Structure 1
Amino acid sequence: MQFRQWALVAALSLCAAPAVWAHDYKVGQIEVDDLWVRASAPGQSNGAGYMEIDNDATAPDRLLSVTSDAAERIELHTVQTDNGVARMRHLPEGVPVPAGGDVALKPGGYHVMFMKLKQPFAEGAEVPATLKFEKAGEVAVKFEVKPIGHHSGASHESHMKH
């Protein structure tokens, strides 16, 4: 009987193990996960960062800024399409995070723009940064550097220049 209990515990532990390895970050009622950037192509001076933000609070919050030593300047951007032309727009007020909801920073939408990279993003590396939320405060995170050709879905961002 004890062997069966041990085997069950071991099997359940293996099923739960991937959650332990995930890069989830939490500050207040905000949880941030799936942070990534693409590796830099030769001569590329900018890079875009993506993530998912969940807000378990009953009040909305806002991602105000991102800081990192990886670039000279970092801005929050969105992509807006006007008359069939997609354009980057700086969001000086930040990215809204709805109460009891989530927001995805993804190719073709909201994203973190790392401008004038101090060194190229190398595949397999991590890019440390600090996210600042209006209500929840600050949290240190790391963006995972994915391969140059990584796609998380349909994207217009590969056709745009900053």
Structure 2
Amino acid sequence: MSFKPLAVALAAALFAAPALAGSEIAIHEPYARTSGMMAKTGAAFMKIENGGDEDDRLIEARADMSERVELHTHIDDGDGVMKMRHVPDGFAIPAGQSHMLMRGGDHVMFLGLTRRLKDGDVVPVTLIFEKAGEITVDVPVDLDRKPREGAHGGHGMTDGD
């Protein structure tokens, strides 16, 4: 009997509640993944909700399991091929709205992983906002999660189940 599905389900249940820190920013359904066992890069995805009445901006992220962490997006350079790009100005989180970090769109990119991310691991990621400051989120690694149908080009949501 494999305990992997149980471990992933328990981690998902523990982290399904929004992460809050003395601000109106809430983080929902975070998860991280890599493209393979020997990957040197990985990414984190989540929904960032701004329940306040002031706009905010995600300007940086940090994680101790990679040499560098950047905010990335996918851009069509006009040739029909989506290319990943660093977004030095970060992502706007308008007041009363949310912003999805998802596969094929905006995301937190881990560059130069210093350890392998295994399914079921939980990694702390610190998100830095202009106004809300630092919010550390425990992000479960879910290597099996697939995007929902139509979740490409930064649109749609990822499966939570």
Tell me what 2:116 maps to.
120
CA contact (8 A) 2:70 2:110 kept: yes
Match of 1:140 among 136, 139, 145: 136
Distance 1:99 1:116 in 2: 34
2:83 aligned residue (87, 98, 101): 87
Verify the 8 A CA contact 2:58 2:129 in the aligned structure 1. Answer: yes
Q: Which residue of 2 aligns with 1:35?
A: 30
Q: Which runs of 5+ in 1 are unaligned?
A: 1-17, 158-162
Bigger radius of gyration, 1 or 2?
Answer: 1
1:46 equivalent in structure 2: 41
Separation in 2, partners of 1:156, 1:58: 29
After the TM superposition, which segments of 4 or more aligned residues of structure 1 sit over 2 Å from their partners?
18-23, 152-157
Displacement of 1:43 after TM fit?
2.3
Q: CA deviation at 1:122?
A: 0.4
Letter paired with 1:106: M
Distance 1:104 1:125, change over 3 A: same
Q: Which of 22, 25, 30 is matched with 2:19 structurally?
A: 25
- Equivalent-residue separation in structure 2 for 1:89 and 1:122 (angstroms): 26
Q: Tell me the residue number matched to 1:57.
A: 52
Measure how far apart 1:19 and its partner are: 8.0
TM-score by length of 1: 0.78
1:43–1:129 Cα change, 3 Å: same
Structure 2: gaps spanning 5 or more residues: 1-11, 155-161
Q: Which amino acid aligns with 1:58?
A: D
Deviation (angstroms), 1:123: 0.3
Identify, as 1 or 2, the structure richer in helix: 1
CA distance in 2: counterparts of 1:67 and 1:88, whole angstroms: 19
